[in-house]
């Protein structure tokens, strides 16, 4: 099933109703992380996915950016090989987002996208707010966020972690020795 959700003309933070029921959020996990991620947490990610699966989580949302997002997508594909009821959702910030990728990253992007059960495109075209709106969508449609977060105060990962915490959504940070108890949160 493919879902296209376009919100380019709506006020920031507003979404059009899609066919996914709101209670699915309770079984959903979103990923956020840095684009510089290079599989350092591959084993931890696999372990956390198994733990989340054992707790009833079946739907996993990836923001489709290179680095942690795509690595998480690949890890969910591996999880689905062991558990057939796992669902993977691609949440792209804007239409034609794929055009930003080349080489190995493009190949991984295509592999993850081809394995997705749903596809959400947050904005029809690029806008200054499309990445933030994508991150809002991830937080708003998940009960748990899994992060690869270095503790910095700037960027999309920091924004997404802050937003999740403000909304009472648990954040599991896989990056070693990083804590999520900063004064600026």
Neighbours of 63 (CB within 10 A): 27
Whole-number average pLDDT of the chain: 87
pLDDT one-digit tens code per residue, 144-184: 999 999 888 899 999 999 999 999 999 999 997 545 554 44
Would you say 65 and 30 are in contact if contact means Cβ atoms under 8 Å apart? no
Alpha-carbon dihedral of residues 108, 5, 129, 93, nearest 10 degrees?
A: 0
> Is residue 63, in this structure, part of any structural domain at all?
yes
What's the confidence (pLDDT) of residue 22? Answer: 56
> Is residue 1, in this structure, part of any structural domain at all?
no
pLDDT one-digit tens code per residue, 68-113: 999 999 999 999 999 999 999 999 999 999 999 999 999 999 999 9
Q: What percent of the chain has pLDDT over 90?
A: 75
Distance spanning both ends of the chain, measured CA to CA: 36
Q: Is the pLDDT of residue 3 over 90?
A: no
CATH number, residue 85: 3.40.50.450
Would you say 144 and 57 are in contact if contact means Cβ atoms under 8 Å apart? yes
Number of domains composing the chain: 1
> Is residue 94, in this structure, part of any structural domain at all?
yes
Give the residue numbers spanning the domain of 110: 22-173
> Is residue 14, in this structure, part of any structural domain at all?
no
Would you say 162 and 139 are in contact if contact means Cβ atoms under 8 Å apart? no
**pTM for this one?**
0.83
Q: Is the pLDDT of residue 23 over 90?
A: no
Q: Is the pLDDT of residue 17 over 70?
A: no
Q: What percent of the chain has pLDDT over 70?
A: 83
Task: Tell the residue number behind the tokens 């059960």, with chain if given.
Answer: 117
Would you say 6 and 127 are in contact if contact means Cβ atoms under 8 Å apart? no
Q: Is the pLDDT of residue 62 over 80?
A: yes
Helix (H, G, I), strand (E, B) or coil at 18: coil
> Is residue 163, in this structure, part of any structural domain at all?
yes
């Amino acid at each position: 099933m493919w879902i296209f959700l376009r919100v380019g003309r709506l006020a920031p933070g507003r979404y059009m109703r899609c066919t996914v029921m709101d209670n699915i959020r309770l079984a959903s996990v979103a990923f956020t992380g840095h684009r510089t991620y290079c599989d350092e947490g591959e084993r931890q990610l696999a372990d956390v996915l198994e733990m989340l699966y054992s707790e009833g989580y079946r739907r996993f949302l990836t923001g489709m950016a290179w680095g942690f997002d795509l690595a998480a997508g690949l890890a969910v594909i591996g999880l689905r090989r062991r558990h057939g009821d796992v669902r993977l959702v691609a949440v792209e910030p804007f239409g034609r987002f794929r055009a930003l990728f080349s080489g190995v990253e493009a190949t991984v992007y295509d592999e993850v996208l081809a394995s997705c059960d749903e596809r959400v495109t947050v904005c029809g075209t690029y806008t200054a707010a499309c990445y933030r709106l994508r991150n809002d969508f991830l937080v708003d449609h998940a009960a748990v966020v899994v992060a690869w977060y270095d503790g910095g105060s700037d960027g999309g990962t920091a924004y997404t972690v802050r937003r999740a915490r403000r909304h009472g959504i648990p954040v599991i940070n896989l990056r070693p020795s990083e804590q999520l108890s900063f004064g600026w949160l």
